[in-house]
Amino acid sequence: MLDLNMQLPVRKFFQVMIGTTLLGGGISLNFLGNLGLGPWGAFHDGLSKITGISYGTAIILTGIFVTLLWIPLKQKPGIGTIVDVFWTGIVVDYFIKIGSTPELLLVKILFIFFGVTLIGAGTAIYVGSNLGSGPRDGVMVGLESLGLKIGTARNVIEVTALILGWIMGGTVGFASVFIALSIGPVVQIVMPYVDLRDKQ
């Protein structure tokens, strides 16, 4: 049996691993659904297409670059940040490799629906661990510290990613709007059950 002083850190680490694994699975389902990707999904897809690297590798490289933006914004990464950068991309490539795009439209729609659900739940679980936010969230918080409202900062980041992704040839479709608008509410629903941010 772990003592109480060890149980919380162990739980936090497991939350990071479970959350980022669910996140990667959800991203894979959205990619395989092939009905349009969210802002960052379109960016990663566009980067993958113009460089020839895998979709998961594009996620990793983007995460590294975005995390470097934390330096001038005076944000500090945590264990969760590092796991998010690398493990999510690895999981995405694995599931895309063993999966395939379904032919039936209904199944594609289900892929998008369950993908969004997994992304939202996974995000809440790993953010709730309080071991560090993801690269993009860190930039959002950093921009807020410079005077931008957090909602405005989030919108600037998402719109920029979507436009750049579209320019690079990333997959943008009718599901892109659904993905962009639906993940937040899922995070909000799941977060109260997994939030350890007020625990030391």
Highest mean pLDDT among 24-28, 135-139, 159-163, 171-175: 24-28
110 Cβ contact partners less than 8 Å away, ≥ 6 residues apart: none
pLDDT value of position 153 = 67
Which of 186, 190, 180 lies closest to 129 in space, CA to CA? Answer: 190
Q: Where are the alpha helices (DSSP H) in the chain?
A: 4-33, 39-51, 55-68, 70-73, 79-98, 105-128, 135-145, 150-167, 174-194
- Give the model's pLDDT for residue 141: 62
Q: What is the pLDDT of residues 149-162, one digit of tens each?
A: 755 666 777 788 88
pTM of the model: 0.87
Q: Residues 90-138: pLDDT tens digits? A: 999 999 999 999 999 999 999 999 999 999 899 889 888 888 777 877 6
Confidence of residue 4 (pLDDT cuts 50, 70, 90): very low
